[in-house]
Structure 1
Amino acid sequence: MQLILILIGAFIVFILSTLTGGGASLLLMPLVAAVVGVKAVAPVMAISIGMSSTSKVFFFYKYIDWKLFAWLFPSTIIGSILGAKMFAELSSDYLQILIGILLISTVFQFNKIEKRTGYQVKAWHFAPMGLVVAFLSGLIGGVGPLMNSAYLNYGINKESLLGTRSANAILLHLTKIISYAYFGYVTGEVLKYGILIGLSSMIAVYFGKLILSKMSEVFFRKIVVGSMVLSGALMLWKNREFISDLVATI
Structure 2
Amino acid sequence: MQLLLVLLGAFVVFILSTLTGGGASLLLMPLVAWIVGVKAVAPVMAISIGMSSTSKVLFFWRYIDWKLFAWLFPSTIVGSILGARMFAILSADYLQLLIGLVLISTVFQWNKTEKRTGWKVKAWHFAPMGLVVSFLSGLIGGVGPLMNSAYLNYGMSKESLLGTRSANAILLHITKIISYAYFGYITGEVIKYGLLIGFSSMIAVYFGKLILAKISELIFRKIVVASMVLSGILMIWKNREFIFNWLAMA
Please classify the TM superposition score into its range, dividing by the shorter chain length: over 0.9
CA separation of 1:118 and 1:21: change in aligned 2, threshold 3 A: closer
Match of 2:85 in 1: 85
Match of 1:144 in 2: 144
Correspondence list, 1:92-241, <5 A: 92-112=92-112, 114-241=114-241
Match of 1:43 in 2: 43
Please tell me whether the aligned partners of residues 115 and 221 of structure 2 are also in contact (alpha carbons under 8 angstroms).
no
Deviation at 1:229, TM superposition (A): 0.3
CA distance in 2, matches of 1:181, 1:61: 29
Please tell me whether the aligned partners of residues 10 and 200 of structure 2 are also in contact (alpha carbons under 8 angstroms).
yes
CA distance in 1, matches of 2:41, 2:204: 20
TM-score under structure 1 length normalisation: 0.99
CA separation of 1:249 and 1:197: change in aligned 2, threshold 3 A: same
**Corresponding residue SS for 2:131:** helix
CA distance in 2, matches of 1:16, 1:114: 24
Q: Percent identity?
A: 84
CA distance in 2, matches of 1:78, 1:109: 30
CA distance in 2, matches of 1:117, 1:224: 11
CA separation of 1:242 and 1:193: change in aligned 2, threshold 3 A: same
Please tell me whether the aligned partners of residues 7 and 200 of structure 1 are also in contact (alpha carbons under 8 angstroms).
yes
TM-score under structure 2 length normalisation: 0.99
Render the CA deviation track for 1:57-96: whole Å, top value 9, x for unaligned.
Answer: 0000000000100000000000000000000010000000
CA distance in 1, matches of 2:61, 2:212: 15
Please tell me whether the aligned partners of residues 64 and 160 of structure 2 are also in contact (alpha carbons under 8 angstroms).
yes
Please tell me whether the aligned partners of residues 47 and 194 of structure 1 are also in contact (alpha carbons under 8 angstroms).
yes
CA distance in 2, matches of 1:189, 1:118: 43
Indicate the RMSD between aligned Cα atoms, in angstroms.
0.7
CA distance in 1, matches of 2:195, 2:139: 21
Deviation at 1:249, TM superposition (A): 1.6
Deviation at 1:115, TM superposition (A): 2.6
Please tell me whether the aligned partners of residues 33 and 40 of structure 2 are also in contact (alpha carbons under 8 angstroms).
yes
Partner amino acid, structure 1, of 2:96: Q
**Corresponding residue SS for 2:89:** coil
- Which stretch of the first structure deviates more once superposed, 158-167 or 116-125? 116-125
Deviation at 1:176, TM superposition (A): 0.1
Structure 2 unaligned segments of length 5 or more: list them: none
Match of 2:13 in 1: 13
CA distance in 2, matches of 1:29, 1:80: 19
Match of 2:68 in 1: 68
Please tell me whether the aligned partners of residues 63 and 159 of structure 1 are also in contact (alpha carbons under 8 angstroms).
yes
Please tell me whether the aligned partners of residues 71 and 127 of structure 2 are also in contact (alpha carbons under 8 angstroms).
yes
